[in-house]
């Protein structure tokens, strides 16, 4: 057995035979499967506010979670102390979910077939590594946002990075390691004039090294974008209320797919038949112009991972192909209980959490329409260029997402900027009303964090410009 | 081996000071959790564990002294080994060299520290007194009560029983040392009902600091079932401007928007529609909003805040007039005011602002009476999404609930939004219910607001 990353063995004195001992303890009361999840998480951040570096922080959390699966049951326990007796105790606690004769884990650990090339190898930086450069990044953002327009009167810029090392060992003999970097830059602005105040924000990053913010997406890029949004909002008028055509711009508006489609296709909800998409595989859930995938294998993206948190390689999974629902996002438990393929979507927030099916990067493939033609086709409606967060009730399928930058479309032209408003629709049918799909697929800049059952994980979304023939727009003005 | 966590926190502060810090503050948290989910009668998950973590915040005098103020940094760790703690301290000392001097930064003044005395009724060891089998039985009974309420309830996301305890220690270089423990237990049920091929899900729960105050599993399950069943057959309604009644579960989220808008961080940045409005009429004369971190047994009660300042009762809005923001030491200094004891201390970073027990004072009408007065309007039982802009007050959120016709709840509605502006909404609260009940740190009774736009068909 060769384990590519010796970190946990060297740092915590783990030995391969200990892993077998822990797994045996986890299966001491029976159970179909057990796994150990070791995690070491280093994070650091710096925040500029009112042109001052007001805070700098860093932290470490590390621990081991032990899971035991017995039929549809899951037992879970964790420890933040990696001493052998503590891990054994967690294993014995998790074992209590099962009741039967002890089982033996497969002793011959085999490394899962792994990819390890999706992102740069970033070692856990020392406290002062790259600090001068981080300072310069946030200071540059402050200058750029203020230079954009004299009406910008508050700027907050932050840079945060983390490295997460994982070691996942399963009682089926699988073993996997990964080292996952994640960096994010954020700028928040407030603009003010005699008419009032408005906010704007922008951010991005991914599984990248710090240099990304010098060469690819610079502090000036994010600062100008945040300032631009705030200035536009200063003159915004009330959004209309009611059903109307909506054109979504490319990129982050793909959050529509995440809320309307993605969550409802997570296998756990479909196994339990609690999703509005239950039983719809093979059926039409979107217009034939729509093909939607969840792809965890895109290099450097925020939602990408070499292996998921169960040690399975991530994949490019087709969810909807030319309008027909193709399948679900699965983890090991749903894969086994439903008899479907494990798509490598078993993710968890940390060692304290039980893995479940989660999205990675969810996006719609490009179509043939020119974005200008799409806008020109709308007599009266709205053009939504950017969004805040969203939410879905997976059981009745209703979902919302909130437009943070939107405009009226009048006679085929984008006109007045609109105040923030929420769009609400029904997941299983909203995409059937997608009548045009642009040729301009764009992925978001790396800002997404998805919450489910109290667990947060980084995700990505993307979409080309699309036209939805109608959806309910939650403004206050007459439609 | 048990470690004396108070001693540990005090030692960490001393070592940071020995390393050259001008001031230091250490927080230590330790907690245990148990959770069980029963679905369709069978145990689905059991989780039992505990953990601890520690955070350090340090201050250095500004270089040269001329600028005044401090440079600050913070670090945290879950590694309580000698090396882990050492790394946390040295990391903070190194980081503080790079931050800016801020004249408003620093610990509270010496005279501001303290803690409430007496029993705040925050900790009861009975939350862990039940054997595991009995905890599972409680979860099973809650689900069963929901499932057996009506044949249309055909599925479930389960019943659950959770318990947790935690203690928090805070120590600083000005001599403050405090510790408190809190306990928590909860029961919930999430049934799914089906009719004409469409599914609806809702839930109910009970939460308490002691098992003795937890509702029975049967009552939790029955309420969950009733809430789910009343959603069956929901439809869209035409776009209209109508009176909207918010049940306590959603009214509380509107009241939470007031908290966010009086949060000192938003105020000094000008990021709130209530910034600069102290002493002004910001809501109707019937509106009184209070934050009280001292209520015995409260979900937002603690003997001291995240900086070691005693919690207190603060009148935020009195007869519609904005009387006070909610502040920690930093935001108070920025605004030239005194802290209100609302510092909330996470492990990392600068303290934020948190609620004590934050609530809209009850009125004198029953919820039924409020609904009875509405000829044609909406009763909101759930919000979906986060469409609130605190800078402008613009409000637009997804909603579901029931349509009110001639003073009666007539039929369920969904796939609609409710929109307006918070500035107007708090002035247009035309009725306040008597049904104030704390189910968390923020609470509100039933309220009616006029002038909102309901967007649908």
Give the domains, in start order, of chain B with CATH numbers. Answer: 5-32+49-112 (3.30.2290.10), 125-166+177-229 (3.30.2290.10), 234-457 (no CATH)
What fold, for A7-234? PmbA/TldD fold (3.30.2290)
Q: Is the pLDDT of residue A128 over 60?
A: no
Torsion from C-alpha of B311, B315, B317, B323, nearest 10 degrees = -100
Its ipTM equals 0.93
How many A/B residue pairs have CB atoms within 8 Å? Answer: 261
The string of DSSP letters for B178-235 reads EEEEEEEEEEEEEEEEEETTEEEE--EEEEESSGGGSPPHHHHHHHHHHHHHTTTT-B
- Tell me how close the Cα of B70 comes to any Cα of chain A, in angstroms: 10
Q: Flag if A272 and B91 touch (Cβ within 8 Å).
A: no
DSSP A365: P
Q: Which residues of A touch B386 (CB under 8 A)?
A: 388-389, 391, 402
Question: Do A76 and B198 make contact, defined as CB atoms within 8 angstroms?
Answer: no
Listed in order, strand segments (DSSP E) in A238-315 are 240-248, 292-295
| pLDDT at residue B63, as a whole number | 66
pLDDT score at B413: 98
3-state secondary structure of A439: coil
For B52-85, the DSSP string reads EEEEEEEEEEPTTTTS-SEEEEEEEES--SHHHH
CB contact under 8 A, B396 and A399: no
Task: Say if residues B407 and B375 touch (Cβ distance below 8 Å).
Answer: yes
Residue B117 burial class via C-beta count within 10 angstroms: exposed 0-12, middle 13-18, buried 19 and up: exposed
Search chain A and give the residue with CA nearest B192.
Answer: A274
Q: Name, in order, each residue with C-beta under 8 angstroms of B406's C-beta and a sequence gap of 6 or more.
A: B375, B376
Which of residues A65 and A131 earns the better pLDDT score? A65
Would the CB atoms of A58 and B91 count as touching at under 8 Å?
Answer: yes
Per-residue pLDDT averaged across A335-364, rounded? 97
pLDDT value at residue A16: 82
Cβ within 8 Å of A, B 336-355? 347-350
CB contact (8 A) between residue B392 and residue A388: no
CA distances from A233 to A148, A228, A367, A380, B417 (A): 15, 9, 31, 21, 21
Task: Return the C-alpha torsion angle A332, A334, A337, A341, nearest 10.
Answer: -70
pLDDT at A2 over 80: no
Residue A114: pLDDT band (50, 70, 90) is: low
Q: Which of A159, A134, A127, A148 is nearest to A60 (CA)?
A: A127
Q: Which residues of A touch B456 (CB under 8 A)?
A: 242-243, 472
pLDDT tens, residue by residue, B137-181 = 999 999 999 999 999 999 999 999 999 999 999 999 999 999 999
Q: Which residue has the tokens 């704007």?
A: A200
Per-residue model confidence (pLDDT) at position A129: 61
Q: Where along chain A do its domains lie?
A: 7-234, 240-478
Distance CA A403, CA B396 (A): 10
pLDDT-derived band at A101, boundaries 50, 70, 90 = confident
Measured between CA atoms, the residue of chain B closest to residue A477 is B453
Query: For testing the chain A interface, which of B156, B260, B347, B387 should be mutated: the one with the most A CBs within 10 Å?
Result: B387
Alpha carbon of A368: minimum distance to chain B alpha carbons (Å):
31
Residue B19: how many CB atoms within 10 A of its CB? 15
pLDDT value of residue A147? 98
Low-confidence ranges of chain B (pLDDT < 70): 1-2, 63-67
Whether B49 sits inside 8 A of A93 (CB atoms) is yes
B132 contacts A93? CB cut-off 8 A: no
Residues constituting chain A: 479
The 10 Å Cβ neighbour count of residue A279 is 10
- Would the CB atoms of B414 and A472 count as touching at under 8 Å? no
For B249-280, the pLDDT digits (tens) are 999 999 999 999 999 999 999 999 999 999 99
CA nearest to B43 within chain A: A73
Kindly report the nearest CA distance between residue B97 and chain A, in angstroms: 10
pLDDT digits (tens, 9 = 90+) for A381-393: 999 999 998 999 9
How many Cβ atoms sit within 10 Å of the Cβ of residue B131?
Answer: 9
Residue A100 vs residue B328, higher pLDDT: B328
Inter-chain touch A476–B420, beta carbons under 8 Å: yes
- Residue-wise pLDDT for A302-312, tens only, equals 999 999 999 99
C-alpha to C-alpha distance for A309 and A294, rounded to whole angstroms: 16
Structure letter (DSSP) for residue A432: G
Mean pLDDT (chain B, rounded): 96
Query: Which residues in A lie closer than 8 A to residue B242 (C-beta atoms)?
Result: none
CB B20 within 8 A of CB B93: yes
Please give the pLDDT value at position A127.
45
Flag whether residue B230 sits within 8 Å of chain A, measured between CB atoms: no
A477 sits in which H/E element: strand A477-478
How far B215 CA lies from chain A's nearest CA (Å)?
23
Cβ–Cβ gap A57/B95 under 8 Å: yes
pLDDT for position A41: 96
Query: Does the pLDDT value for residue A269 go beyond 80?
Result: yes
Q: Shortest CB distance from A419 goes to which of B77, B199, B394? A: B394
Nearest to A190 among B94, B271, B456 (CB): B271
> Residue A412 in contact with residue A379, Cβ under 8 Å?
yes
């Amino acid at each position: 057995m060769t384990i590519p990353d010796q970190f946990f063995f060297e740092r915590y004195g783990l030995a391969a035979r200990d892993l077998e001992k822990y797994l045996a303890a986890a299966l001491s009361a029976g159970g179909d499967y057990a796994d150990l999840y070791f995690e070491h998480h280093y994070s650091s951040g710096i925040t500029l506010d009112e042109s001052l570096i007001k805070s700098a922080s860093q932290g470490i959390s590390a621990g081991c979670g032990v899971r035991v699966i017995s039929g549809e049951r899951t037992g879970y326990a964790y420890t933040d102390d990696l001493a052998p007796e503590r891990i054994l105790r967690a294993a014995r606690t998790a074992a209590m979910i099962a009741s039967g004769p002890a089982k033996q884990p497969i002793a011959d650990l085999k490394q899962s077939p792994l990819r390890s090339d999706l992102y740069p190898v970033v070692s856990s930086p020392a406290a002062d590594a790259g600090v001068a450069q981080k300072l310069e990044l946030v200071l540059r953002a402050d200058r750029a946002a203020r230079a954009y327009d004299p009406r910008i009167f508050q700027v907050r810029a932050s840079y945060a990075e983390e490295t997460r090392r994982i070691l996942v060992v399963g009682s089926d003999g699988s073993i996997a390691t990964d080292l996952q970097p994640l960096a994010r830059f954020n700028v928040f602005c407030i603009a003010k004039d005699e008419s009032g105040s408005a906010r704007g924000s922008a951010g991005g990053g991914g599984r990248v090294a710090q240099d990304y913010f010098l060469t690819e997406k610079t502090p000036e890029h994010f600062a100008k974008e945040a300032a631009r949004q705030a200035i536009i909002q200063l003159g915004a008028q009330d959004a209309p209320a009611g059903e109307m055509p909506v054109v979504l711009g490319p990129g982050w508006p793909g959050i529509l797919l995440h809320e309307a489609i993605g969550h409802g296709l997570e296998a756990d909800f479909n196994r339990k038949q609690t999703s509005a998409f239950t039983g719809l595989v093979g059926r039409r859930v979107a217009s034939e112009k729509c093909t939607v995938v969840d792809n965890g294998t895109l290099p450097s993206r925020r939602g990408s991972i070499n292996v998921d948190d169960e040690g399975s390689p991530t994949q490019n999974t087709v969810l909807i192909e030319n309008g027909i629902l193709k399948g679900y996002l699965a983890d090991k438990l749903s894969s086994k209980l439903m008899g479907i393929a494990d798509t490598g979507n078993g993710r968890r927030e940390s060692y304290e959490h039980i893995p479940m099916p989660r999205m990675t990067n969810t996006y719609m493939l490009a179509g043939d329409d020119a974005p200008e033609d799409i806008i020109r086709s709308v007599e009266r409606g709205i053009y939504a260029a950017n969004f805040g967060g969203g939410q879905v009730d997976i059981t009745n399928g209703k979902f919302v997402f909130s437009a943070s930058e939107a405009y009226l479309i009048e006679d085929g032209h984008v006109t007045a900027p609109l105040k923030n408003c929420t769009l609400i629709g029904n997941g299983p049918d909203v995409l059937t009303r997608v009548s045009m799909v642009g040729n301009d697929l764009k992925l978001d800049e790396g800002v997404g964090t998805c919450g489910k059952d109290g667990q947060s994980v980084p995700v990505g979304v993307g979409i080309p410009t699309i036209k939805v023939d109608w959806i309910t727009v939650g403004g206050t003005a007459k439609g | 081996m048990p470690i004396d966590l108070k001693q540990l926190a005090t030692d960490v502060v001393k070592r940071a000071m020995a390393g050259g810090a001008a001031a230091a503050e250490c927080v230590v948290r330790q907690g245990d959790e148990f959770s069980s989910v029963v679905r369709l009668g069978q145990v689905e998950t059991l989780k039992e564990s505990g953990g601890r973590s520690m955070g350090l915040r340090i201050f250095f005098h500004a270089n040269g002294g001329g600028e005044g103020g401090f440079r600050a940094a913070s670090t945290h760790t879950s590694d309580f080994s000698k090396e882990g703690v050492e790394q946390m301290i040295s990391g903070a000392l190194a980081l503080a060299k790079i931050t800016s001097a801020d004249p408003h930064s620093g610990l509270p003044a010496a005279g501001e520290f303290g803690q409430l005395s007496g029993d705040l009724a925050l900790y009861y060891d009975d939350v862990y007194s039940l054997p595991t089998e009995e905890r599972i039985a409680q979860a099973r009974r809650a689900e069963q009560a929901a499932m057996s309420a009506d044949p249309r309830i055909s599925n479930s996301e389960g019943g659950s029983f959770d318990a947790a305890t935690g203690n928090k220690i805070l120590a600083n270089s000005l001599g403050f040392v405090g510790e408190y423990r809190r306990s928590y237990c909860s029961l919930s049920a999430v049934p799914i009902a089906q009719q004409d091929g469409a599914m609806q899900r809702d839930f109910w729960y009970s939460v308490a600091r002691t098992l003795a105050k937890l509702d029975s599993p049967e009552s939790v399950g029955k309420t969950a079932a009733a809430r789910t069943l009343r959603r069956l057959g929901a439809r869209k309604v035409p776009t209209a401007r109508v009176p909207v009644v918010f049940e306590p579960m959603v009214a509380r989220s509107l009241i939470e928007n007031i908290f966010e808008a009086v949060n000192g961080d938003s105020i000094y940045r000008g990021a709130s529609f209530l910034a600069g409005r102290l002493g002004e009429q910001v809501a109707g004369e019937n509106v009184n909003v209070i934050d009280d971190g001292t209520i015995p047994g409260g979900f937002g009660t603690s003997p001291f805040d995240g900086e070691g300042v005693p919690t207190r009762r603060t009148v935020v809005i009195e007869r519609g007039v904005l009387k006070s923001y909610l502040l920690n030491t930093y935001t108070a200094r920025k605004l030239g005011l005194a802290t209100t004891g609302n510092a909330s201390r996470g492990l990392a970073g600068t303290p934020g602002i948190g609620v004590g027990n934050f609530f809209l004072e009850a009125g004198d009408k029953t919820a039924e009476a409020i609904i009875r007065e509405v000829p044609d309007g909406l009763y909101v039982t759930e919000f979906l999404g986060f469409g609130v802009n605190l800078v402008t007050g613009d409000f637009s959120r997804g909603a579901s609930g029931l349509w009110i016709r001639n003073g009666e709840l007539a039929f369920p509605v969904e796939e609609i939004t409710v929109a307006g502006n918070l500035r107007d909404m708090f002035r247009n609260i035309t009725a306040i219910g008597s049904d104030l009940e704390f189910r968390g740190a923020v609470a509100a009774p039933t309220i009616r607001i006029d002038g909102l736009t309901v967007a649908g068909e």
